[in-house]
Homo-oligomer: A and B are copies of this chain.
Amino acid sequence: MKTKLSIVKIGGNIINDDQELSRFLKLFSKIKGNKILVHGGGKKATEIGEKLGVISKMVNGRRITNTESLDVAIMVYGGLLNKKIVAELQALGCNAIGMSGADGNTITAKKRPVGDIDFGLVGDVEKVNSSSISVFLNAGLTPTFCALTHNGKGQLLNTNADTIAAELAIAMSSEFETTLYYCFEKKGVLRSIDDENSVLQHIDSKKYKSLLADGIIADGMLPKMHNCFHALQQNVKQVCIGNSDMLQEENSNFTTLTL
């Protein structure tokens, strides 16, 4: 039987609020067994970028990463946020180790090919080095990833945190029974967007298709759910979507996805 592994991804809604982040980290630190944390950015990067006079370039509503904005990402995601999360987890008795994909050569990526848009220094995950990550897990460490990868040729690349979490979960599933948690601001996938309590507690492939057909899964939820089912098809055991409370053992009011 494979050992269990929990991979938890948090985004801006938690990172932007010190109190909410502390609350989350307390819950995260209590997860038993092997665990990995993946964190995105948040408004701090925008704030620091503005102060430094770095202007986020947008094309067709998509953010472009140039050298200056990558430097801000490295400073804020890889430095400020990552190290503070690690120090706080250490205080909670969780032996965290902060990393980008360059550290221990854990995640390599390719610069996204230039199509209609040149996204700049953005990377699409190429390979997760699961054996390197296993060394950390087996030593009792909790790898804590920021949303940066590298191309193996000395270039760091900005990479979507949701994707990093999914790719980590897929790669680690060869050795571990992996559950992937996406923590966001809502209690789960909602049947009705206006009703916070209309959480769909379980979605399998069949239900997913019908929800798509009925237009219940739409907008921002579309790529997220696509990512989730992609991970499930690649041997990830289950994916859970909800807010920080889903990490509380007694709580079951969140969305669980299985094939």
CA–CA, A217 to B19, complex, Å? 51
- In this assembly, does A150 line the interface, its C-beta being within 8 Å of a C-beta of chain B? yes
Q: Are A150 and B52 in contact (CB under 8 A)?
A: no
Binds B, one of A55-63, A95-103, A162-170, A181-189: A95-103
Binds B, one of A151-159, A227-235, A245-253: A151-159
Picked from B75, B84, B86, B153, the residue with its CB within 8 Å of the CB of A91 is B153
Q: Are B135 and A139 in contact (CB under 8 A)?
A: yes
Q: Are B87 and A156 in contact (CB under 8 A)?
A: yes
Q: Which A residues between 124 and 151 are near B, CB-CB below 8 angstroms? A: 132, 135, 139, 141, 148, 150
CA–CA, A100 to B88, complex, Å? 13
- A86's nearest neighbour on chain B, judged by CB, is B102
Q: Which A residues between 193 and 221 are near B, CB-CB below 8 angstroms? A: none
Task: Annotate A42-70 by CB proximity to B: 1 below 8 A, 0 otherwise.
Answer: 00000010011100000000000000000
- In this assembly, does A12 line the interface, its C-beta being within 8 Å of a C-beta of chain B? no
Interface of A, helix, strand, loop or mixed by DSSP? helix
Contacts of A104 in B (CB 8 A): 95-97, 141
- In this assembly, does A190 line the interface, its C-beta being within 8 Å of a C-beta of chain B? no
- In this assembly, does A40 line the interface, its C-beta being within 8 Å of a C-beta of chain B? no
The 10 closest A-B CB pairs, nearest first, are A79-B79, A91-B154, A75-B75, A75-B79, A87-B102, A78-B79, A97-B103, A97-B104, A135-B139, A87-B150
Interface range on chain A (Cβ under 8 Å from partner): 35 or more
Contacts of A155 in B (CB 8 A): 87
Q: Are A98 and B87 in contact (CB under 8 A)?
A: no
CB distance from A49 to the nearest CB of B (A): 11
CA–CA, A52 to B154, complex, Å? 27
Contacts of A87 in B (CB 8 A): 102, 150, 154-156
Contacts of A156 in B (CB 8 A): 83-84, 87
Task: Annotate A9-53 by CB proximity to B: 1 below 8 A, 0 otherwise.
Answer: 000000000000000000000000000000000000000100111
Subset of 5 A-B contacts with CB under 8 Å: A87-B154, A87-B156, A96-B103, A97-B103, A98-B100
